[in-house]
Amino acid sequence: MNPKQRPAVLLFVAQLLWATATGVSAQDAPDVDPMARHFLKEMSETLANISELSFKVESTIDVVDSLGLMVQKDESLHVMLRRPNRLAVRLHTDGRRRGLTYNGKMASIYHIDYQVYSSAAVPSTIDKALDRIDEEYGFMLPLREFMSSDPYEILFAEVTEGAYLGLTEVDGVPVHHLVFRQDDVDWQIWIEDSAWHLPRKFIVTYKGEKGWPQYTAHFSDWNRRASLPDAVFEFRPPDIARKIRFLKDGPEVNQ
């Protein structure tokens, strides 16, 4: 730990211990550090104001298996986005390859390894389309808050406490380290110390689950001036792929 960060860390920990010991409710908890709020807003405004961008993510997910062992799984994403209504995501999770393609009218989910896909009409904005895909088809896209029209609104909605831990580095890039508390999760974010304030690292700790598993994401390859062809957002299934209908209880093959 950078010695310059210790006072902020100790203060934040002291606040959390005080709140726990005295039974302070979320509404009465200490205010979020203005610096933490500032950099989170700056990052959100940057992402919301970029009309066309792409980025990559390498992440790890802690999962408790049937034997009670904590197992770490790998995940990678390649995100291509054009606001307000174009999105393409390539997702590789522990050997499973999937893709999500959205062209403003239709969303398609393609399971590459099984050569099956599903397509459905969805609303005409990225936010509403992802809501529909989650609610009706049970497909929750990782890190979708960073693709939304207002990341701050989603990230900050249930925060009860937060602190600014100072400057450090992620992959050689100077970053601002922020930490936040919610009822069921704690999360940290490292935001680039530049005019663009792009996220570089993100960790979520799930306090309500056995063993407090974590999700850790490293962002890279940010392209703020992406010029993505329309074809990126159009799904054309291979001849060998089968169309299926996804339900929350599992896939059902269309006859």
Domain ranges of the chain: 30-253
Q: Percentage of residues in the chain with pLDDT exceeding 90?
A: 76
Tokens of 35: 């610096």
pLDDT at position 211:
86
Instruction: With CA atoms as reference, report the closest residue to 241 among 122, 106, 133, 99.
Output: 99
Q: What is the mean pLDDT of residues 26-53?
A: 87
More confident residue, 26 or 188: 188
pLDDT, tens only, 149-174:
999 999 999 999 999 999 999 999 99
Is 9's pLDDT higher than 70? no
pLDDT at position 64:
85
pLDDT at position 71:
94
Is 233's pLDDT higher than 50? yes
Nearest 5°: the CA angle 56, 127, 181 is 70
Is 247's pLDDT higher than 80? no
Query: Among 3.40.109.10, 3.90.79.10, 2.60.120.10, 2.50.20.10, what is the CATH number of 30-253?
Result: 2.50.20.10
Per the DSSP assignment, residues forming a β-bridge with 188 are 179, 203
Is 199's pLDDT higher than 90? yes
Least reliable range by pLDDT among 20-34, 60-74, 177-191, 211-225: 20-34
More confident residue, 138 or 227: 227
pTM as predicted: 0.84
Is 240's pLDDT higher than 80? yes
CA–CA dist 159, 166 (Å, integer): 19
pLDDT at position 139:
87
